Amino acid sequence: MAFGAELVGMGVYGLVGAISAGLHALLLLLLPRLAIPLPLANLAGFLVASLWSYGAHAKFSFRHQTRGQSFPRRWLLFQLTLNVALSLLLPWLLAPWVSSFVGVLVLVFTPTAVNYGVWSLAARQVAGLQRPLGPAPIRHADDLGLHPAINRAIFSLADRGLLQSASLMVGAPAVADAIDGLKLRPDLPVCLHLVLSEGPPMAPVDQIPLLLDREGLLKLGFAQLLWASVWPFGHSRRLAQQLAIELEAQIRRFVELTGCHAIHLDGHQHLHLLPVVWRQLLMLDPCLRPVWLRTVREPWPAKVPLGAWGQSLVSAGWIKWLVLSLLTLVLKPVLRRQGLSTNASFAGVLFTGRMAGATLVASERHLRSIAFGNAGADAETDQQTPPMLLIHPACAKGGIAVDPRYRHSASFYASPWRQQEYESLLSLGSLDRS
């Protein structure tokens, strides 16, 4: 029955697409005869075909998937922007073949293929919004120990039951204050927040010179570690050996501070997802090896304001999301084989630094709908912990000035968004009762 319904659905989609392609081809052939440049003729054909196909697909093709609901406007905007760019670029890219039969087919059917992909994603998302909400995800805060104002925000949220875990920077300037707070809250789970790009090291400086700058501070950035991951020879191999020394030192310091031997680990700026880092982690002595690593499998949430999507585009948040998603795809099978756990899904990269207001609510609701939909999933999820929502709160309305040794975090925590994330999570508690 399900297979038959799928065939009918594909047949309806094919019919709508064929009519759309016919309209596109007709204008593509006629308009150049009226002295209209081919790129503009192709764009006009696409726009006319899109008006037809958007209405017809929303009315017929995907109606059963969305249960009669309309597609969110952002999907139409995404589809339109992508296809306008393709309509203008393809005639130029295919210039030698654009007048051939194959060239015309490419111009006509490329928007159809793009539309199918985009609208399939949109339909699944709209259908997902109509599922009941599952339990709240693990709400998690990074950078515990970096500044007293960050510690206050994290502990305040945890005391209200609005935050379920946090990540500790073992070499940070306010780590003693953080440990005092954790001793008063023995039930608050804490992860090691691995720091490699800034701040002081935990290992002796003479053992890790490749990891340090002239001031003796950690300097490993994303690009350097990515290069060491794909080119593991010479310098990269020596760097990996010294990296293992620092990893072990931070883990030992974490155990000393917290008394926790079941290491849950994530990375400052998500550097733990790079192969050169997790390979060294997995080669550590079993008593030091993490039992859980955070991964970034972040679905695009619905009902996020268009302004937030625009900000993500401007700040290249979607590029960061894409890179970390690909790194997660590589890492997850390794974790399964090694018997390590990870979170089932995630939110907090696409809109990192601005997880507040409607964006935070939308991300929370989307993770909850996923949690409901995955109830009773296959055995692969046995090693997965619940979805995780990541924030970076601080109790400081005008931002805070962090220790200058943490140069990459300076502008991030000088932002008033840290206070907004804190206040937004305070108001998010009502979702637990929905």
Q: How far is the C-alpha of 6 from the C-alpha of 8, rounded, in Å?
A: 5
The CATH number of residue 156's host domain is 3.20.20.370
The closest of 430, 428, 424, 264 to 357, measured between CA atoms, is 424
- 276 shares its domain with 305: yes
Q: Alpha-carbon dihedral of residues 360, 363, 368, 369, nearest 10 degrees? A: 140
Q: Which 3 state secondary structure label does DSSP give 193?
A: strand
State the residue range of the domain holding 25. 2-129
- 124 shares its domain with 100: yes
Final residue belonging to a domain, choices 129, 149, 174: 129
- 243 shares its domain with 320: yes
- 146 shares its domain with 121: no
Final residue belonging to a domain, choices 111, 129, 147: 129
- 46 shares its domain with 145: no
- 297 shares its domain with 348: yes
Final residue belonging to a domain, choices 88, 104, 129: 129
For 127-136, b/e burial (b = at least 16 CB within 10 A) is bbbeeebbeb
What integer pLDDT is reported at residue 172 of this predicted model? 97
- 17 shares its domain with 164: no
Q: Which 3 state secondary structure label does DSSP give 197?
A: coil
- Number of folded domains in the chain? 2
What integer pLDDT is reported at residue 11 of this predicted model? 66
pLDDT along the chain (434 residues), means of 10: 52 74 82 84 80 69 56 65 75 71 73 69 64 80 97 97 97 97 96 97 97 96 93 89 98 97 96 97 95 93 83 86 95 95 94 94 87 47 82 92 94 94 85 48
- 86 shares its domain with 155: no
What integer pLDDT is reported at residue 381 of this predicted model? 47
The closest of 383, 357, 235, 230 to 295, measured between CA atoms, is 383
Query: Which stretch of DSSP H or E encloses residue 152?
Result: helix 148-159
- 53 shares its domain with 199: no
- 338 shares its domain with 412: yes
- 275 shares its domain with 412: yes
- 72 shares its domain with 174: no
Residue type, 134: G
